Amino acid sequence: MTDTSIDLAALLCSRLCHDLLSPVGALSNGLELLAEERDPEMRKRCMELLEQSARISADKLKFFRLAFGAAGGFGEQVPVQEPRALIDALVANNDRISLNWALGVASLPKPAVKVLLNLASIGIDALVRGGTLDIGAESRDGASEIVVRAAGPRIAFDKEVGKALSLEMPTDGLSSRTAPAWMIAQIASGQGGGLQYALTEDALVMGAVLPEA
């Protein structure tokens, strides 16, 4: 493994830890409150918060397992219902985002699934004020084609992430924020394909084409 690969793996781990810190911290705080609380109604509320935090933590772990990891439980083709369920679960925790799907295939190669999940994650991050996330995927002319569109007021998109999507090294090098974009750009390039994006004030559109082996 090269030094660059090690750095990328470390940054992806940092991103995973960053995203899990909030729900896991809420679990810890909730357990402390539960141990001290004696009022039945408050204990019931604590249990509800613990269940919510546990669900969010599990959803994020399942997402990152397939988005970043080897996902050994799957073969070379992954049913599209798997990434759909993972993204549905993430968006379910944010009632300000509506999600639309247009899937023209029953399964996608694992590299394409990683690209789809990470583009969806970038789209979710862009909708800090809420909006609509549209995700489409199909197989055409021997290639997997993916499109993710995030539309809403004042899209939040770090141009350094855009550089990483274009396989251009970010100004200050890779960070936990740009590492996922760099990873999927490398995946697409390695497949003989590529990524592209277009940004306006109220929409971010990202696309990927990955030739299938």
Q: What is the pLDDT of residues 13-66, one digit of tens each?
A: 888 788 877 777 777 777 777 777 777 887 788 788 888 888 888 888 899 889
Distance, C-alpha 113 to centroid of its chain: 11
Give CA–CA dist 98/141, Å, rounded: 31
Per-residue pLDDT at 31: 78
Render 105-136 in DSSP notation, one character per residue.
-SEEEHHHHHHHHHHHHHHHHH-TT-EEEEEE
Give the containing element (helix H, strand E) for 134. strand 131-140
Q: Where are the domains of the chain?
A: 3-211
pTM over 0.85: yes
Band (pLDDT 50/70/90 cuts) for residue 213 is: low
Q: For 112, what's the count of Cα atoms within 13 Å in the CB-facing half-sphere?
A: 32
Neighbours of 165 (CB within 10 A): 24
Rg of the chain on CA atoms, in Å: 18
pLDDT bin (cut points 50, 70, 90) of residue 71 is low
Top-level CATH class of 3-211? alpha beta
pLDDT digits (tens, 9 = 90+) for 97-134: 999 999 999 999 999 999 999 999 999 999 999 999 99
Cβ–Cβ under 8 Å, residues 209 and 119: no
